[in-house]
């Protein structure tokens, strides 16, 4: 026996030698397919991420729109409540006017009736003040169409032209906004005879 290292050689048949290049070619095709598959998967992933970002953007926009809608609705509700409150306060002003007329025309001898009307009038004025209603004090002030409604021009030399000389119906502000203008007489130039 020969003790030297020898390589064992396995004979390769012709058929097997032809198969090696085919295996290499198949492996190359597989690698190409995997690379193409990875590229396609990366493109699909990118498209899915873009789509997710688009949906997220739409969601955030819808959420912001809903918040804005809610704020608009609350603001509209508050405005409507304020308008209804003004409408109700105007009705109370009519009651105050009637009570004031009753006080001006009440018989001074009937203290009980006059006292009751006076008490009711004061209570109503107190309620209006609590709600933010203030009387406009126009007499002696220059006529301002923003706060006064002229019902007559009185020729006089005792007051400056366009000054309010008499208040016919009280005017009121509600939270510094006009609730009802004061009906007034305005001084005009005296007539020359």
137-146 pLDDT, tens per residue? 999 899 999 9
CA pair distance 152, 119, nearest whole angstrom: 32
Kindly state the greatest CA–CA separation across the chain.
163
CA pair distance 42, 48, nearest whole angstrom: 10
**Which two three-digit tokens encode residue 89?**
């306060």
Instruction: Please give the pLDDT value at position 1.
Output: 47
Specify the DSSP element, H or E, that contains 125.
helix 111-130
Tell me: pLDDT of 106 over 50.
yes
Residue ranges of the chain assigned to CATH 2.30.22.10: 133-193
- Are the CB atoms for 131 and 153 separated by under 8 Å? no
What is the CATH code of the structural domain delimited by 133-193?
A: 2.30.22.10
Q: Say whether 182 sits in a helix, a strand or coil.
A: strand
C-alpha distances in angstroms, 94 versus 82, 115, 171, 177?
Answer: 19, 20, 11, 18
CA pair distance 52, 58, nearest whole angstrom: 10
Average pLDDT over residues 63-80: 96
Average pLDDT over residues 47-69: 95
**Which two three-digit tokens encode residue 57?**
């953007």
Q: How confident is the model at residue 93 (pLDDT cuts 50, 70, 90)?
A: very high
Which of 14-23, 44-53, 66-75, 119-128 is least confident?
14-23
CA pair distance 153, 161, nearest whole angstrom: 10
Q: 0.75 exceeded by the pTM? A: no
């Amino acid at each position: 026996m020969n003790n030297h290292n020898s390589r064992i050689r396995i004979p390769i048949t012709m058929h097997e030698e032809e198969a090696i290049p085919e295996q290499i070619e198949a492996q190359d095709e597989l690698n190409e397919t995997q690379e193409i598959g990875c590229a396609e998967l990366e493109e699909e992933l990118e498209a899915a991420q873009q789509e997710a970002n688009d949906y997220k953007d739409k969601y955030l926009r819808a959420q912001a729109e809903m918040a804005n809608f809610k704020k608009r609705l609350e603001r509209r509700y508050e405005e409507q409540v304020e308008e209804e409150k003004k409408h109700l306060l105007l009705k109370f002003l009519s009651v105050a006017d009637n009570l004031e007329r009753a006080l001006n025309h009440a018989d001074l001898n009937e203290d009980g009736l006059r006292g009751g009307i006076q008490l009711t009038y004061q209570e109503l004025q107190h309620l209006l003040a609590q709600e933010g209603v203030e009387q406009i004090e126009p007499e002696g002030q220059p006529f301002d169409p923003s706060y006064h409604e002229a019902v007559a021009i009185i020729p006089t030399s005792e007051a400056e032209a366009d000054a309010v000389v008499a208040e016919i119906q009280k005017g009121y502000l509600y939270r510094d906004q006009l609730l009802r203008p004061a009906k007034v007489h305005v001084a005009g130039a005296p007539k020359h005879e």
